[in-house]
Structure 1
């Protein structure tokens, strides 16, 4: 018998909001985390990939525990990128559509004028969703007080560290009091994350690990094509022709190859743009908007730039090259087959790289089929 959100202890108004978003059955991380987090009397470590439903796993308990009558900041959610912050804030807003009392959350991130955000924060704010750098600016200017927060959430903690936010995080922890509970979510557990856990979290923290293989989910079919470096662009062109009515992302390893490939595909007449690290925030937002509203069909992206992309109806992801980390394969392929749909993950390899396919099969417990065009 599958558990419902009601069984987990979520209130009726929140369930009504979820229903409207077509969220009916809790995912694995939600079923494990929500009952623990609703009590809010413990620190929590959740090992879970992107796309497993983490936002609702911590977001619903936070919303249910907010006291709307008190107008100070009660919860702080930290995330690595502006896109993710905006996405989390949007979801929290949608979850609370049917709540009697308004719960206010504000986003704090770089790339937007400080005074614009300042003005918003002057209003009642119960929850702040922020990137670490910009939040610290506000705290150090004395414009945000996080002393009285009850809950601090670190979402995609490993990403925040790999993006260089380590010192900012350490400072932010110092500005909160010892009474807060910390909920940390991360796809991987590098030494730096373990250090944060040891330094700032209780030894009794509840730990939940979501089977990483279950995310490379049953709806994704995995394929590889053996080709040569010279032929790769050609093969991608033929794949895009094959998927001419669908949308998808092509993953590359470097900024340079993102730009080169995008130029070549544009020259072939495809509706495609690149997402890579050197882009201005404004450019990035423009590309993401176009991709989300479907005026752009294909996206070429580096791994780091793909963080925070949450787009449904992607039929495929193509790996121009296999990533060097197992987790990245999971992250990349997990972009497709969302919301119960099916999708294909297609890796281009050159001869000699078959071993990598073998390793992925073994480590992620998935089956690859060779594909010929």
Structure 2
């Protein structure tokens, strides 16, 4: 694989700047776009998955093509949100840090327009802005675009989706007809053809990967719970991943605010971004998140545009989006820059159909996972704590003055008692929360030739563990899944109940759930029905194998 330097299409100052950032090898979209922009004046449409370096793909060649001797703006970059505007500006400043004369400014709403007017009185080479603020400055006769040579529309489909069509049209009218227009997006949405037809001239289409397809570095999983248990499920998902660093997507501002406030009250290191926040508040939250002073960020789709953090481990869809393009954008926040990530969907059973539509459209399989039990969470958190303790580097010199008194205070406790007490300090919240917790999964049976699951609630009294039947009245069955596959006695009973007619009163004998397999007893008269029914079931993609145990 050739490095940026070996490709020899960027000057030494830019190469030095991107090497400082840690960029060594160009991504597929960068390999195609950068040389094309440096050699051609033709318009382009560039499509690439989120997190593949689109900003560098257009930013690096534009920086190199800027004429520093000319004092007016030569490039205009339009994007849908303040967060994305600021992120692009930060990136361009990093790329050009050794080009001392270049001037790059950002123009966006939510802050004083007077300060931005003052910036426009000075020389500027590249302007990054949101449509609303740009058109405001044009109408005030403070911003002139007659000398723009390069127009970049980043996430242009989202700008139209947010209702900026009129502003975009007005801005385009102020630009010279002779210019190079560049359109960048992660998805080919319904708006792309409108944009291309309206603003571009015979564009060259550059695509890396498949259209509207998620990154291969992202695993897609889903949990099925009732609506009343959704928030409880969210907490359990977070708790089972002690090192989670993620974004929780909600559909509305109200929902975003409510979920964030609930998580904060429950002791989670969380904050939120949504439309009602001032720009100063939004920047404060985002700075804390980027610096990992926050573990979780709750956000709406619009507010999350521009979040460019490479090591996000999880994206959690608390509400499913309406369109697959939005899901692609959401899941693209994780699995970036060569890292792997997980996209989680918390859904109700009536949303399975929507999920299957997403599977078809984005070309990925969603794997169902069971909500962890309280015991599983406490065990995971405890082991995580132990690993942290093992890795602690003690500054013994600093401890010397205090150690004799500490030792004296603790000398009455033996080793086991100390472990219990220090562990309790760390784990009392989890143990208190989960000691009486119940299973909140919805259990499903399968239909032949289908990987989907459909639920019916357990009918009270459907199962009677009877001791009145003679021992010979039961068959002992072997099943190839166990506790490692998230099987519990209740889940096994539910599976049996779905296979046998719901009005039957089947008697179940002894159940033994082991690590890799399970043994259970059922009435002999239902033996063949259970053998046939279970053999047709896929347990999260794994075919069940069941046989009579002699």
TM-score by structure 1 length? 0.92
Show the counterpart of 1:354: 352
C-alpha separation in 1, matches of 2:353 and 2:2? 39
Is the contact made by 1:251 and 1:301 (CA closer than 8 Å) also made in structure 2? yes
Deviations 1:214-271 (A, max 9, x none): 9622322221112111111111111121223331111122222222222322221112
Cα distance, 1:8 vs. partner?
A: 6.3
Show the counterpart of 1:292: 290
Deviations 1:17-39 (A, max 9, x none): 11111112212221121111112
Equivalent position SS for 1:230: helix
Equivalent position SS for 1:217: coil
* C-alpha distance 170-260 of structure 1, shift in aligned 2 (>3 A): same
Q: 1:332 aligns with which of 330, 333, 357?
A: 330
Show the counterpart of 2:92: 92
Show the counterpart of 2:101: 102
**Which piece of structure 1 moves more, 291-300 or 145-154?**
291-300
Which aligned pairs between 1:218-297 and structure 2 lie closer than 5 A? 218-297=216-295
* C-alpha distance 256-143 of structure 1, shift in aligned 2 (>3 A): closer
* C-alpha distance 188-7 of structure 1, shift in aligned 2 (>3 A): same
Is the contact made by 1:252 and 1:301 (CA closer than 8 Å) also made in structure 2? yes
Aligned length: 371
Is the contact made by 1:147 and 1:176 (CA closer than 8 Å) also made in structure 2? yes
C-alpha separation in 1, matches of 2:167 and 2:360? 38
Deviations 1:99-158 (A, max 9, x none): 3x5211111111221221122222221111111121122222222221111111111101
Is the contact made by 1:246 and 1:315 (CA closer than 8 Å) also made in structure 2? yes
Q: Tell me, which stretches of 5 or more residues in structure 2 are unaligned?
A: 373-550
C-alpha separation in 1, matches of 2:235 and 2:351? 22
Show the counterpart of 2:57: 57
Asked if residue 74 in structure 1 is aligned to residue 62 in structure 2, the reply is: no
Larger of the two Rg values belongs to structure: 2
Equivalent position SS for 2:91: helix
Cα distance, 1:49 vs. partner?
A: 4.1
Show the counterpart of 1:38: 38
C-alpha separation in 2, matches of 1:316 and 1:133? 32
Show the counterpart of 1:181: 180
C-alpha separation in 1, matches of 2:317 and 2:188? 25
Is the contact made by 1:158 and 1:187 (CA closer than 8 Å) also made in structure 2? no
Equivalent position SS for 1:284: helix
C-alpha separation in 2, matches of 1:358 and 1:80? 30
Is the contact made by 2:214 and 2:328 (CA closer than 8 Å) also made in structure 1? yes
Deviations 1:176-226 (A, max 9, x none): 1111111112334455543342233212x2111233469622322221112
Q: Which has the higher contact order (CA 8 A, sep 6+)?
A: 1
Show the counterpart of 1:121: 120
Is the contact made by 2:188 and 2:211 (CA closer than 8 Å) also made in structure 1? no
C-alpha separation in 1, matches of 2:309 and 2:271? 15
**Which piece of structure 1 moves more, 260-269 or 56-65?**
260-269
TM-score by structure 2 length? 0.64
* C-alpha distance 245-227 of structure 1, shift in aligned 2 (>3 A): same
C-alpha separation in 1, matches of 2:5 and 2:52? 16
Is the contact made by 2:49 and 2:209 (CA closer than 8 Å) also made in structure 1? no
Equivalent position SS for 2:64: helix
